[in-house]
Structure 1
């Protein structure tokens, strides 16, 4: 039987570190103070204890953030140890079959391989992507039909729900699960691809799913959420550009997340996390955030001037600042030129290639430091 992965007792870490206990039960929205600025990612859920060292961040706080995000946004990710994954391949078609709880479901993926023998790094994508830009650069692109993993509506149909019907899990998490199972299939049946050098990407709601995919699987080397907005890399607490996307209007697609976030509708300042917390929880693995400068729907400016620098302060503190970048190409929502724009960062991570591009450059925008005041007082411990 699937168990929620909550630690109800103090978590023991190596050395002399004892992790603070995660509250049980997890607090409801009413229990959290209202905070207009981005929450301090170093502050535990108990509201009084703060991270003191990098070792403590990785052993205690980062795992707690994952639990917080599952409790209040994504739903609890299925236990992969209870799944059996097999795969078959015919040419450029890859079928991945997952068995769990006496049921089976299949995901079909398409392989787009560069010329040569490989093994090639790979970007796993849902939705449209400029395949040739990547395959010409020696990076494989593997795509799959997200709608067959989980329909983008409240019908709870698709491969994921065949196995996990009845779970309080958002569709973003279901799509993230699809990314991971496709990566399993690649490892099993595609020797031309080096699955240890993998990226995940998608745009808009699929960018939200790509961010979730990077969060829940440490095999992902670089996470590439494009124009992802609210429930992705767009801040809940601020809306600086686009159509004014916020928790309230995005919640109309209530199937994207678990029911846990519904209690914060109209109370987003009570959320114990924000988009920067999600990004920081992926460290030290690489993330390239992207938003088009003319995006008419999602909050590129908020992502660039708040989420990115707030998360960057955590990456810098951990000594891995070069693993987080921001790209702001021209164009509107999900403009295809974005994929070539982030390519140098992806090549740096997946292929070890040098780039002169400054992925900290916000152009005419400036970091909105007043939105994350805690960054002026980072933990002193190493």
Structure 2
């Protein structure tokens, strides 16, 4: 299906959106100039993806360059005794070989695969109308689709510097002052008014989309996106081309989903996000309590869709892991924050496995300086601005000296977790 143009009216402003055939948020992911068309691997239709029984057990992180069609056990070579080990080692057949293939084929495939297996399918934004009404530092947001309406609001904190200013949209609260002093606006919204942190189908999102198999993380991500729409229409003091999104813990998972599913977001800033965020499904017990797919789904099954629950007890059959989510954000920026004293989110696994594995893809795409790992002392959810230098680099083009590849007391990467790194596709 070709790309389609459409627009949604926001206030009195019509915003052109470029919608992709694969439902991945308001815009298709940006990519460098494409020199040639490439032939992509077949992608299953929604609801017809392989179940865990049709996928090999992968005890190490899945190869990000291997399309799903060549990962299933009924694919070519799938019956070979060495199939699973070849897949894990980067020896699978028909791997992505060029950045053109990545941007045209693999990245869109990952975006759809993650919606199928984890997030639920993002609503068709082309059918939404968003109305923004500003009163002082409050923006009231009204979204209508299919004859149904959901309402919530956002609160502005604007710097005193010259506008338009870059902005960080956050949920769950953060220390605003360091950002305001740096000339960065902070906008918050009450995520519980978008969707509750429970099985209850109330709030603005469910007022419109009740009955769909969509996780709360995606509903909260939708809230981030609709806030950005409202800022575009009603807050000229904010620059909508320089946008960060952040949250911590379960809200860090939501910020990650928001950055993944909307290419207008410049910088994604998940903090202490854990499993279903940037904590690995594999290698889940490296630090703190053992946070797994199983106990996460048992404790808060509503965060993600029902399909992910079918992998309970079979997480090593998932054809992706947290590094795949991170890599799919490229070439846009990502900074990952974890505290070494955090007992809840396997910070070490994120730092020594997920981050360096994702950076392999960022480096290969030539945007290695757009991904950062922030390993700090302290525990769960430090929102005081430890990542701020990297934020100023991305949103304000500042020169910084802080080394965001330093894994601190965790030492170096655990390369045995991603053996395919020895087979990164060579570029001409």
TM-score calculated relative to the size of structure 1: 0.95
Counterpart of 2:149 in structure 1 is 104
Q: How far apart, in 2, do the equivalents of 1:296 and 1:95 lie? A: 37
Contact 2:140 2:151 in 1 (8 A): yes
- Segments of 5+ residues of structure 1 without an aligned counterpart are 7-12
Counterpart of 1:373 in structure 2 is 419
1:301-340 equivalences under 5 Å are 301-337=348-384, 340=385
Q: Could you tell me which of 172, 180, 204 is aligned with 1:127?
A: 172
Counterpart of 2:5 in structure 1 is none
Q: Could you tell me which of 25, 43, 47 is aligned with 1:22?
A: 43
1:160-199 equivalences under 5 Å are 160-199=205-244
Residues 41-61 of structure 1: CA distance to partner in whole angstroms, max 9, x if unpaired? 000001242101001000000
1:218-229 equivalences under 5 Å are 218-229=263-274
Q: How far apart, in 2, do the equivalents of 1:20 and 1:308 lie? A: 27
Cα offset, 1:128, TM superposition: 1.6
* Pair 1:115-2:160 in alignment: yes
Taking a change above 3 Å as real, the CA distance of residues 348 and 269 of structure 1, as seen in their structure-2 partners, is same
Contact 1:124 1:201 in 2 (8 A): yes
Equivalent residue of 1:269, what SS?
helix
Cα offset, 1:304, TM superposition: 0.2
- Measured on the aligned residues, the alpha-carbon RMSD in Å equals 1.4
Cα offset, 1:14, TM superposition: 7.0
Cα offset, 1:96, TM superposition: 1.2
* Pair 1:78-2:101 in alignment: no
* Pair 1:293-2:316 in alignment: no
Q: Which moved more, 1:76-85 or 1:14-23?
A: 14-23
Q: How far apart, in 1, do the equivalents of 2:35 and 2:108 lie? A: 14
Counterpart of 1:41 in structure 2 is 64
Contact 1:85 1:184 in 2 (8 A): yes
Q: Which moved more, 1:19-28 or 1:159-168?
A: 19-28
Equivalent residue of 1:376, what SS?
helix
Cα offset, 1:116, TM superposition: 3.2
Count of residue correspondences = 372
Contact 1:283 1:315 in 2 (8 A): yes
Contact 2:291 2:345 in 1 (8 A): yes
Q: How far apart, in 1, do the equivalents of 2:383 and 2:170 lie? A: 13
1:252-291 equivalences under 5 Å are 252=298, 253-291=300-338
Equivalent residue of 1:73, what SS?
helix
Counterpart of 1:233 in structure 2 is 278
Cα offset, 1:260, TM superposition: 1.0
Q: How far apart, in 2, do the equivalents of 1:153 and 1:304 lie? A: 29
Cα offset, 1:5, TM superposition: 4.1
* Pair 1:66-2:89 in alignment: no
Equivalent residue of 1:341, what SS?
coil
Contact 2:273 2:279 in 1 (8 A): yes
Contact 2:255 2:268 in 1 (8 A): yes
Contact 1:51 1:61 in 2 (8 A): yes
Cα offset, 1:329, TM superposition: 1.3
Q: How far apart, in 2, do the equivalents of 1:116 and 1:67 lie? A: 40
Contact 2:22 2:108 in 1 (8 A): no
Counterpart of 1:145 in structure 2 is 190
Taking a change above 3 Å as real, the CA distance of residues 5 and 58 of structure 1, as seen in their structure-2 partners, is closer
Q: How far apart, in 2, do the equivalents of 1:199 and 1:84 lie? A: 23
TM-score calculated relative to the size of structure 2: 0.85
Q: How far apart, in 2, do the equivalents of 1:177 and 1:315 lie? A: 26
Taking a change above 3 Å as real, the CA distance of residues 116 and 335 of structure 1, as seen in their structure-2 partners, is closer
Cα offset, 1:376, TM superposition: 1.1
Q: Could you tell me which of 50, 55, 78 is aligned with 1:32?
A: 55
Residues 232-260 of structure 1: CA distance to partner in whole angstroms, max 9, x if unpaired? 00000012112111100000201000011
Equivalent residue of 2:116, what SS?
helix
Contact 2:36 2:100 in 1 (8 A): no
Contact 1:107 1:182 in 2 (8 A): no
Contact 1:73 1:260 in 2 (8 A): yes
Q: How far apart, in 2, do the equivalents of 1:156 and 1:332 lie? A: 32
Q: How far apart, in 1, do the equivalents of 2:326 and 2:116 lie? A: 17
Cα offset, 1:4, TM superposition: 9.3
Q: Which moved more, 1:361-370 or 1:194-203?
A: 361-370
Contact 1:23 1:45 in 2 (8 A): no
